[in-house]
Amino acid sequence: MQPNGAVAFVFLFIYIGVDTLLRQTRSTGKISQGNALRPGSNENKDIMKVIVLGGGVVGVTTAYQLQKDGHEVVIIERQPVVAGETSWGNAGMVAPGHSFVWSSPKAPMTLLKSLVLKDQALRFRFSADPRLYSWSWLFLMECTAEKARRNTLLKHRLAAYSQKILQDVIAEDPVDYDRNVRGILYFHRSQEALDRGVAHMKLLESDGQLITVLDRNQVVELDPSLAAAKDKIAGAIHCPTDETGDSAKFTRALAEKILARGGTILTDTTINGFETSGQDVTGIATSKGLIKGDAYVLALGSYSPVLSRQIGVNLPIYPIKGYSLTIPIEGQPSPPNVAAVDEHNLVAVSRFGDRIRVTATAEFAGFDTSHKPSDFAFMKRVTQELYPAGGNYDRAEMWAGLRPMTPTNLPFFGRKKYRNLYLNTGHGHIGWTMSHGSARITADLIAGRTPAIPMDGLLVD
Ligand SMILES: Cc1cc2nc3c(=O)[nH]c(=O)nc-3n(C[C@H](O)[C@H](O)[C@H](O)COP(=O)(O)OP(=O)(O)OC[C@H]3O[C@@H](n4cnc5c(N)ncnc54)[C@H](O)[C@@H]3O)c2cc1C
């Protein structure tokens, strides 16, 4: 698009944004801080049958925590296995150090630039879907410095809490998921960018995030596999307490534990809608019939609003597509040892045992998860330059998935309109990181307990 076309687009965008926002606010009300149906007002605090909608990392960790509280759990999942969609191909970073929200003051210009320049990291595509524009408008409303700061701190608190719950879970119930606890390197290619990154990181540091600033020699000392790229790196912020692990392997192992303890996982089962009566959900209509429980948890990732809007629960969650490569190491001598994010190219690299996982790109493509080799050319080239002897790049497995993004980049918890329908959805770009804490919070809300972290700004009404 030419620059004057971009200006026309901005006016069109603002017009459509205001219009759709007004329509959405009129028809649905606004997501806000409070909660009209207070958590804990559920009179039935006894053991319940809880139906969890969605078998991604969020649904499965929720079922695990609910089962721990003594509830009977049923997970409904349309794929033949759990973690078959977004939770399969992510970068595996459990990264409170990566809690910065995307809705920042820089985001509007980045979005605009992506229309004019061919940006590899961000790809905005026009669409006939009005929800793209209403969501984008709400997203832009979150892009002030004050809101970005507030949302980042809320997200960091949830991410740090979640990492603690993950550590509790694996201490009590060991899971093999190719965990790597050598921290994450957030590296920059120029001294100016590194200085800006360090200044930016002060916000998370003020909230307890441990960081160490490394020059290029120290980066290579920490991970010698980056030696070939030493001259391209100015330095890095190392978050030593961030970690990585394969979220699909973890989710599937946890699902086995749930089954072994008497839980039910209905795979190959598509949810078509809800049965309701007054303020209660009374059943879930699926391809295998009606499934009834006492309480229900909505954990369908990007598809949560598609289903919930049928019963008047409107959630501003929009899919943002990302791509990943899984590269077998196959005897190559210098695979990455420490997970890294190339902050210039926005490419993330993790090591899962004998594989490397590389992820990149934020693309507005609706619910389209298709991909072609050219979508991966840039991220593959960047990774190969960084780790030339890191893996067998010719045998890389390609994948694309949808981040369930909210305008604030914070997930939704609590209840909206129905007394026994709990939300745990909209975990965006660090949903694996936030899943364990989100699961505990949801189990606490269902039990009528006060969650361990303050919920201001995280509950819907
Ligand atoms: C490229 C990329 C890189 C990422 N990297 C990281 C990272 O490094 N660290 C991190 O923390 N997070 C990362 N994420 C984000 C993370 O993967 C997601 O936030 C997380 O997986 C969301 O989990 P979920 O359970 O909410 O959604 P999903 O995994 O999508 O689970 C929802 C489930 O609901 C099922 N479902 C949907 N509709 C229906 C229906 N009608 N009937 C039955 N079942 C249905 C789906 O099949 C799916 O299994 C990344 C995401 C992407 C795309």
| Residues 286 and 319 both lie in one domain | yes
Q: Say how far apart CA 338 and CA 271 lie, in whole Å.
A: 40
* Element housing 133 (H / E): helix 130-141
Question: Does residue 452 fall inside a structural domain?
Answer: no
Is there a single domain that holds both residue 16 and residue 158?
no
Q: Judge if the beta carbon of residue 56 lies within 6 A of ligand 1.
A: yes
Contact 262, 237 (CB under 8 A): no
Q: Are 346 and 238 in a shared domain?
A: yes
| Contact of 359 with 323, CB cutoff 8 Å | yes
Encoded tokens for 299: 């954990």
Pairing of strands 347-352, 339-342: antiparallel
Q: What is the DSSP letter of 452?
A: S
Counting ligand 1 atoms within 8 A of each CB, the residue from 300, 311, 379, 399 with the most, and so the one to mutate, is 300
Phi-psi region of 368 (alpha: psi -120 to 50; beta: other; left: phi over 0): beta
Q: What are the C-alpha distances in Å from 238 to residues 116, 172, 218?
A: 34, 28, 10
pTM: 0.92
CA–CA separation, 306 and 32 (whole Å) = 20
Residue 73: its H or E element? strand 72-76
Please give the pLDDT value at position 399. Answer: 98
Give the closest residue to 86 by CA, choosing from 60, 63, 59, 56.
Answer: 56
Q: Token pair of 39, please? A: 């958590």
Does the Cβ of 91 fall within 6 Å of ligand 1? yes
pLDDT at 117: 78
pLDDT at 12: 43
What pLDDT, on the 0 to 100 scale, is given for residue 18?
40
Give me 431's structure tokens.
Answer: 């949903």
| Confidence band of 125 (pLDDT split at 50, 70, 90) | confident
Q: Is residue 453 situated within a structural domain?
A: no
Dump pLDDT digits (tens) for 189-216: 999 999 999 999 999 999 999 999 999 9
| Among candidate residues 139, 154, 181, the one where a domain is terminated | 139
Structural domain range at position 131: 1-30+107-139
How many A from CA of 317 to the centre of ligand 1?
Answer: 12
Between 16-20, 84-88, 100-104, 408-412, the lowest mean confidence (pLDDT) is in 16-20
Q: For the segment 19-35, what is each residue's pLDDT rounded down to a tens digit?
A: 444 333 333 323 222 23
- 3-state class (DSSP) for residue 215: strand
The answer, yes or no, to whether any atom of ligand 1 lies below 6 A from the CB of 155, is no
In a domain, 457, yes or no: no
Q: What is the C-alpha radius of gyration for the chain, rounded to an integer number of angstroms?
A: 22
Q: Does the CB atom of residue 408 touch ligand 1 within 6 A? A: no
Determine the distance separating the centroid of ligand 1 and the alpha carbon of 333, expressed in angstroms. 33
Asked if residue 438 has its Cβ within 6 Å of ligand 1, the reply is no
Share of the chain above pLDDT 90, in %: 85
pLDDT for the residue numbered 45: 53
| Distance from Cα 85 to the centre of ligand 1, integer Å | 6
Task: Tell me if 115 is assigned to some domain.
Answer: yes
Is a pLDDT exceeding 90 seen at residue 40? no
Mean pLDDT of the chain: 91
- Structure confidence at residue 313 (pLDDT): 98
What average pLDDT does range 279-306 have in this prediction?
98
Residues with Cβ within 8 Å of 447's Cβ and at least 6 positions away in sequence, in order, are 45, 69
Rounded Cα–Cα distance for residues 283 and 278 (Å): 13
Residues 131 and 244 in one domain: no
pLDDT at 414: 98
Q: Is 398 exposed, middle or buried (0-12, 13-18, 19+ CB in 10 A)?
A: middle
Please write the tens of the pLDDT for every residue from 397-425. 999 999 999 999 999 999 999 999 999 99
Task: Say if residue 347 is in the same domain as residue 368.
Answer: yes
Final residue before a domain boundary, out of 139, 159, 186: 139
Q: Which pLDDT score, from 0 to 100, does residue 33 have?
A: 26
Residue 406 CA to ligand 1 centre (angstroms): 13
pLDDT at 121 over 90: no
Give yes or no: residues 384 and 410 share one domain: yes
Cβ–Cβ under 8 Å, residues 36 and 151: no
* Confidence (pLDDT) at 92: 98
Each residue of 372-382: pLDDT tens digit? 999 999 999 99
Whether 16 shows a pLDDT value over 90: the answer reads no
Tell me the residue type at 62. Answer: T
**286/383 same-domain check:** yes
- Ligand 1 centroid to Cα of residue 374, in Å, is 24
C-alpha to C-alpha distance for 241 and 163, rounded to whole angstroms: 10
Q: Are residues 162 and 254 in the same domain?
A: yes
Using alpha carbons, select from 310, 314, 300, 307 the residue that is nearest to residue 425: 300
Of 94, 115, 139, the one marking the end of a domain is 139
CATH number of 57's domain: 3.50.50.60
Q: Would the pLDDT of 13 be above 80?
A: no
CB proximity list for 441: less than 8 A, separation 6 or greater: 413, 424, 451, 452, 453, 455, 458
Residues 5 and 69 in one domain: no
| Closest ligand 1 atom to Cα of 424 | 26
Is the C-beta atom of 413 inside 6 A of ligand 1?
no
Element (H, E) at 404: strand 397-405
Cα dihedral value 302, 307, 312, 314, nearest 10: 0
Confidence of residue 98 (pLDDT cuts 50, 70, 90): very high
Helix 191-205 to helix 145-172 angle (10° resolution) is 70
- What's the pLDDT at 164? 98
In a domain, 277, yes or no: yes
Task: Tell whether the model's pLDDT for residue 2 goes beyond 60.
Answer: no
Binning the chain into helix, strand and coil, the percentages to the nearest 5 are 40, 25, 40
Spatial distance between the Cα atoms of 271 and 286, rounded to a whole number of angstroms: 4
- Assess if residue 420 is contained within a domain: yes
pLDDT at 1 over 80: no
Do 322 and 262 share a structural domain?
A: yes
Give the C-alpha separation, 253 to 82, whole Å.
10
Distance CA 48, CA 284 (A): 16
Mutational pocket test of ligand 1: of 180, 429, 442, the residue with most ligand atoms within 8 Å of the beta carbon: 429
C-beta of 433 in contact with ligand 1 (< 6 A): yes
Q: In the block, which residue shows the tokens 């809800």? A: 274
pLDDT, mean of residues 275-292: 98
Please tell me the predicted confidence (pLDDT) of residue 116. Answer: 80
Residue 440 pairs in a beta bridge with none
Distance 79 CA to ligand 1 centre (A): 12
DSSP 235: E
Total domains, the chain = 2
Do 100 and 121 lie in a common domain?
no
Both 251 and 113 in a single domain? no
Residue 57 lies in a domain: yes
- Taking a C-beta distance cutoff of 8 angstroms, is the pair 103, 147 a contact? yes
CB 151, CB 409: distance < 8 Å? yes
Biggest CA–CA distance in the chain, Å, is 65
Which backbone phi and psi does 200 adopt, to 5 degrees? -60, -40
**Average pLDDT score over residue span 352-357:** 98
Helix (H) or strand (E) holding 325: strand 318-328
* E strands present in 62-120: 72-76, 93-94
Looking at residue 72, its pLDDT comes to: 98
Q: Is 460 among the domain residues?
A: no
